[in-house]
Amino acid sequence: MLIIIVGAGLVGTQLARQLIEEKHDIAIIEANEERARHVSNRLDCIVLHDEGNSISALEEAGIAKADALVCVTDSDEVNMIICGLASRYTGLLKIARVRNDEYVRRNFQTQIEGGKFAAMGIDFFIHPDVEAARSALDAIEHGALGNILSFAGTPYELGAIDILASSPFDGLVLKDFRTLIEGESLVTLVERRGNCILPTGTTKLQPGDRIYLLAKNDDLTEGFKLAGRPEKPIRKIGIVGGGRLGSLIAGGLLTKEKRRSGKAGFNESDDPVDAARGKKNRGFFSFLQTLVPRHLKKVIIVEQDYGLCKELAARFPDALILNEDISDESFITEEQIDDLDLIVTATAHQELNIITAVYLKSRGVARAVAMVSSAGYAAIARKLGVDVVIPMKSVVVDSILSKLMGGGVKGVHRIGDGTVGILEVDIKAGSQADGQALKDFHLPAGALVMLVNREVEDDFIPRGDYVYTPGHRILLIAKNGTEMDIEKIFGSPR
């Protein structure tokens, strides 16, 4: 595929790097000369120093033969205008990153009515704060034990568990894993000293490892308990930062309505896929039926801006709004902030989010969720003891990649150091894998089938005698660069 990316910030650069690894042809348009030069020196792709809303720049980038256009500049309006300029090119997939809630709601409504956004023909809007809030709410639903992925239509979840010295996992050989967790489970990945290892039965776990365990909810909870992280009731949640992101998280926690669409802050009726098609949502991420964690009694929002506090008080009458500076230690003691069960740090400053999460944990707060910008800061925060770290840029990149995947690939999520991904794939009739047994069919090196998701039957972790069947949805773990091969195997006819 030829994909044009307008905007070479963190999201645009990370997206381009991953698409290049997947052997796509990439052209980047960047208005800032220094940033364009920086990207040109580091990525093997076409980089144009020009305005993205220039028709000549789009033409030079190859818009006439491009398969997709992704606009991720800092301006919502510029991203939308660029998509509008490209609307005359048929067959072009157009994705725009936007932060304005009204644009997103309008887009949902027009899709429900069977059209695209206004006259601009935008296929997908990516809302960074919605995507990040969605991840935060999912972590809270699971008690903020660690980073956990849920999969639509299946009771299985993927959790990241840190191996501590002297824990039952320390020194365990994976072929003996069932001696600790009897339920059906699979260790899909081991992170060890910065490297990602696709394990075998002979892999021996070591202190400092991080494993990614696929299991049903109760078994996954047992895994965290054995690793020294027992589930604790969450009755009192604090949110630091009452901006758009903090408001979305608060809205998700305080809304009594059910959420199935996975759109944080939006009702199920806003989901264009469910509403327009009347089908069960089989999106890559699934969320529990209710927003409110068990035993939740109180939500506290801490915000320094007085005007914003007034707006929050009117919007969330059930929450306690505190107009205070979270860095003020006396305030923390006076307001008993340190007796929270969970703190979510969602300010616009990632360093403050990390420091606040670590400090409040040292004061006795049981769990902490920190929102950060990049995967690099996420690694630092995890090493400092933050329970759940959500790198917002990576979440946005994953969302865009899921929209770009064609054929049978329906979703993607990077885990570990970002060199490995979880893919959600539909098996198509007549594909190379159709009718082949798992043990007899060789996937690309570094790929492993983790789970089979069926519409009307129970899901299961497949063994060698499983036969690839059209209509089944499978979850694979695969190294970067294998996505196109996997798409050809499962999504294209022989």
Q: Looking at residues 10-28, what average pLDDT do you find?
A: 92
Q: Phi/psi at 300 (nearest 5 deg)? A: -115, 130
- Name residue 169's amino acid: F
Q: Which residue has the higher pLDDT, 95 or 259?
A: 95
268: pLDDT strictly greater than 50: no
pLDDT(494) > 50: yes
Mean pLDDT score, 141-170? 85
Closest CA to 221 of 297, 281, 144: 144
For residues 240 and 326, give the distance between their C-alpha atoms in angstroms, rounded to a whole number: 7
Q: H or E stretch including 491?
A: helix 483-491
Please write the tens of the pLDDT for every residue from 394-419: 889 988 988 887 656 777 787 876 77
Dump pLDDT digits (tens) for 184-221.
999 999 989 878 888 989 999 999 899 999 999 889 98
Q: Is the pTM of this model over 0.85?
A: no
Does residue 66 have a pLDDT over 80?
A: yes
b vs e for 166-198, b when ≥16 Cβ sit within 10 Å of the residue's Cβ? Answer: ebbbbebebeebeeebeeebbbbbbbbeeebeb
Contacts of 203 (CB under 8 A, 6+ apart): 173, 174, 187, 190, 197
Q: What is the pLDDT of residues 216-258, one digit of tens each?
A: 988 998 999 998 887 778 889 999 999 999 999 998 888 754 4
Quote the DSSP letter at residue 184.
S
DSSP structure class, residue 325: -
Distance (Å, whole) CA 215 – CA 447: 19
Torsion over CA: 196, 197, 198, 203 (sign) = negative
Whether the per-residue pLDDT at 338 is higher than 80: the answer is no
Banded pLDDT at 285 (limits 50, 70, 90)? very low
Task: Name residues whose C-beta falls within 8 Å of residue 148's C-beta, 6 or more positions apart in sequence.
Answer: 138, 139, 142, 157, 158, 159, 160, 220
- Token output for 236: 């009192």
CA atoms of 7 and 272, how far apart (whole Å): 27
- Flag whether pLDDT at 279 surpasses 80: no
Q: Walk across the sheet containing 298-303 and list its strands.
A: 320-323, 298-303, 236-240, 342-345, 367-372, 388-391
Residue 144's pLDDT is: 84
- Mean pLDDT (the chain, rounded): 83
Contact call for residues 238 and 302 (beta carbons, < 8 A): yes
3-state secondary structure of 485: helix
Torsion of CA 337, 339, 344, 348, to 10 degrees: 20
From the CB of residue 367, how many other CB atoms can be counted at a distance below 10 Å?
A: 25
Per-residue pLDDT, averaged over 320-346, amounts to 85
Residue range 443-456: average pLDDT? 85
Better pLDDT: 452 or 333: 452
45 Cβ partners below 8 Å, 6+ apart?
A: 16, 20, 25, 26, 27, 28
Residue 87 buriedness (CB in 10 A; 0-12 / 13-18 / 19+): middle
pLDDT confidence of residue 22: 81
Q: What angle do CA 228, 358, 264 make, to 5 degrees?
A: 85
Gyration radius of the chain over CA positions: 23
Q: What 3 state SS string does 69-126 have?
A: EEECCCCHHHHHHHHHHCCCCCCCEEEEECCCHHHHHHHHHHHHCCCCECCCCECEEE
Domains of the chain: 2-126 (3.40.50.720), 133-137+233-395 (3.40.50.720), 152-226 (3.30.70.1450), 405-491 (3.30.70.1450)
Please give the Cα distance from 209 to 232 (Å, whole number). 23
d(CA 476, CA 438): 12
